[in-house]
Structure 1
């Protein structure tokens, strides 16, 4: 996540943007063959069909006419609860990485990366620092990697199931991308809130971490505009869930308070040592 050269995009941002672009291209090329009870194969008959059944079942439990938007919301929350342990692991790893920022910044100053030898030395020192702190620098990308197959299967289930494709939520047809920008804006907004909360607790922020807070919502917005509204709704609920989760697990105000307490305790300890030295000198 940290950079070898400060002007290069972060690995997480590059991977996220690449995966979202790949997802958009993949979805554009997906099969349009309808999913029915007679669909066969591991993907169509196993995964997509069961996603379709789950979405329809969740939409029917609300009583009255099927509420497909509520079904997608319930489905999203279930997925988020399932991957919650992974998200907690990501949050803890991110916090450890944030606490390493001053040391990583010192390494950047020591190894500016102007030649191969400097870059290799920087990488070795970074890996050593991560290992000593028990940090996995790619942990931040794991939730996205896990959710990619879910997003693809969700798209396929809605796009290839006529009942879901023609379903609506608050007057928005779930199978189309004509949501009047409401869902894409909400998806981008909750992405920003979640990213801001995650970054606000960092002891130091460089230009790249700040830019990620603003670039990621833009990427989500552009992507959400071009995919079916059902996926935009998934992103809205998922990122809202992420924002709430971040508030409780990685609350930046609590983290800052804890950091200040540690600094105050360290200052008090040093003053105590200095006082003891002065008293010893007088004797």
Structure 2
């Protein structure tokens, strides 16, 4: 390998190191948006614009913001129907028939014994208002808006006292002018609601109406990660085409004067869904497969409200007739198995892609599935990661074998290369020519060791994506002090891993980057040992850089998810063992604890 190629590889490696350090020290800033006080939700106000059907457009005056309320105060302002299932707890409001109070019984904010459950939906009036609502909108000239159910309609319970997986709830509202509306709300054993809306026409003339569903979110989430490899915001599928829109991009959508908001509309012919996705949780509206609709993304600046709509086609309801429309609402954690079953059983196209698999989806998906089944086998996600490492190394072994054989031959040539360097002196051109002649004479390809390394880069990134994005590693323990594989190793070298009587610096401290745990230290040591097996660069500067690289990576990855660091340690240990044994089989005895330039002794068997 000539000097130019060496410098190119070195520059590439160093550039990667610099970029990684930059993203760790200076992550992309979170766009918190312009905070505004929430307001009470009423018909077409507070940023909740009821969609216009076909010929007509919604239009209503806006209200001034009101003071934010606590969750308890907001819940107390409306009569409610309790929601109780194995996985969900909360209530729905009879004002507007909104599903606006929902927590996950199986998931908690932290690992503390008294940690509260994760809450997704919050009622209007709170600072984090987030809810789903449904209704009807008229075609132009058909029925006035105030005679149709909307966000502030006072519903009554017709049947059902508590919404459970076995007992649906039916709400009813009579507009007093011949139209009777019912809303039958049911939920399965997991996280999928079904909202069936019916209208009974007793007016004596035909009415033309269109059903809709809305998920509204007041302001950006306060726990927005803002990390470049994770999508948070609107996610949708429209006839097989997946689309993701970040919150700041929703704000920048073209403004529609009729909608009084920034809007994007997509026509769906037969299969689609739309909603909001967070790091681990999602709320999504899903019309029945085969149903045409319009998927709408909207932002109302005046009230800082984000909105996703499902607008269904206009239906004509003749005198004495009753018509109905059904829309599903998923509100829950992004459990791969659960979402996959909904996709397969209910025919919701690309629903499993609501999990952010990224550009390398062709790697992240199989890596995740392998990890999932290994977890079922071992019962511990940490051991599943180690098992996955063995599987990946086994798949790459044929390439690795050729690479290690090539490195072994280069190790054997190390003494001759030192002699060439001594005889050539400062004549770098002569040294390169003689080194290349030596490689050619001994049939050694110095670039043969690069391919396994290049193949591991997308695999490593994909595994990092899986560990960071997927829910299944959240709060999963390993052994000892590691209680959450999605979080950094909690031990710290700055207090000798708990032996000294003071706490390690927290994330806000300038010393946090030096507060690395046991597993990052093991990663640095194992990486250093592995690199000692490789031929040392003839250039002193390059040799010094490569000797420091394991310790640089140790601090770089020290604050990464411990599951990823465990993978790296396992990978280094397996690689070291494979390379060491193959080098010995080729007649090379590596001097692991040699001097800083990594000189070795070669002996023939």
Which TM-score applies when normalising by structure 1? 0.71
Matched, 1:238 2:562: no
Residue 60 in structure 1 maps to residue 369 in structure 2: no
Instruction: Show the counterpart of 2:462.
Output: 153
User: Within the alignment, does 1:177 sit opposite 2:488 as a pair?
Assistant: yes
Alignment of 1:78-227 (within 5 A): 78-113=391-426, 118-170=427-479, 171-180=482-491, 181-196=517-532, 198=533, 211=544, 214-227=547-560
CA gap of 1:25–1:124, structure 2 versus 1, over 3 A, is same
Give the match for residue 74 of structure 1.
387
The structure, 1 or 2, with the larger RCO (C-alpha pairs under 8 Å, 6+ apart) is 1
Instruction: Please identify which structure carries the higher strand content.
Output: 2
When structure 1 is superposed on structure 2, of 32-41 and 152-161 the one drifting more is 32-41
Q: 1:47 aligns with which of 352, 359, 363?
A: 363
CA distance in 1, matches of 2:453, 2:359: 20
Partner of 2:138: none
Q: Deviations over 1:90-119 (max 9, x none)?
A: 221112112222332333234444xxxx44
Greater Rg by CA: 2
Whole-Å separation in 1 of the counterparts to 2:537 and 2:488: 39
Residue 259 of structure 1, CA deviation:
4.6
Q: Which residue of 1 aligns with 2:180?
A: none
The count of aligned residue pairs is 248
Q: Distance in 2 between matches of 1:203 and 1:157?
A: 34
Deviation of the 1:164 alpha carbon: 1.9
Distance 1:192 1:99, change over 3 A: same
Aligned to 2:229, the other structure's residue is in SS state coil
Query: Where does residue 582 of structure 2 map in the other structure?
Result: 249
Distance in structure 2 (CA, Å) of the matches to 1:220 and 1:108? 31
Q: Quickly say closer, same or farther: Cα 1:70–1:17, change in 2 above 3 A.
A: farther
The answer to whether the Cα contact below 8 Å between 1:99 and 1:203 also exists between their aligned partners in 2 is no
Distance 1:203 1:18 in 2: 21
For 1:20 and 1:80, the matched residues in 2 are separated by: 24
Flag the 1:226–1:51 CA change in 2: closer, same or farther, 3 A: same
Pairwise CA distance, 1:179: 3.7
**Conservation of the 8 A alpha-carbon contact between 1:102 and 1:204:** no
Asked if the contact 2:526–2:573 (Cα under 8 Å) also holds between the matched residues in 1, the reply is yes
Partner secondary structure for residue 236 of structure 1: helix
Q: CA 1:130–1:159 in structure 2 vs 1: closer, same or farther (change >3 Å)?
A: same
Structure-to-structure mapping, 1:265-280, within 5 angstroms: none
Structure 1 CA distance, aligned partners of 2:394 and 2:21? 25
Q: How far did 1:151 drift? A: 0.8
Structure 2 distance, partners of 1:23, 1:85, is 30
- Partner of 1:193: helix, strand, or coil? helix
Separation (CA, whole Å) in 2 of partners of 1:214 and 1:44: 31
Whether the 8 Å CA contact 1:101–1:204 is kept in 2: the answer is no
Superposition deviation, residue 24 in structure 1: 6.2
Q: Structure 1: state its 5+ residue gaps.
A: 263-283
Aligned counterparts of 2:358 and 2:409: Cα–Cα separation in 1: 40
Gaps of 5+ in 2: 25-226, 233-278, 280-333, 341-350, 492-516, 591-600
- 2: distance between equivalents of 1:212 and 1:45? 34
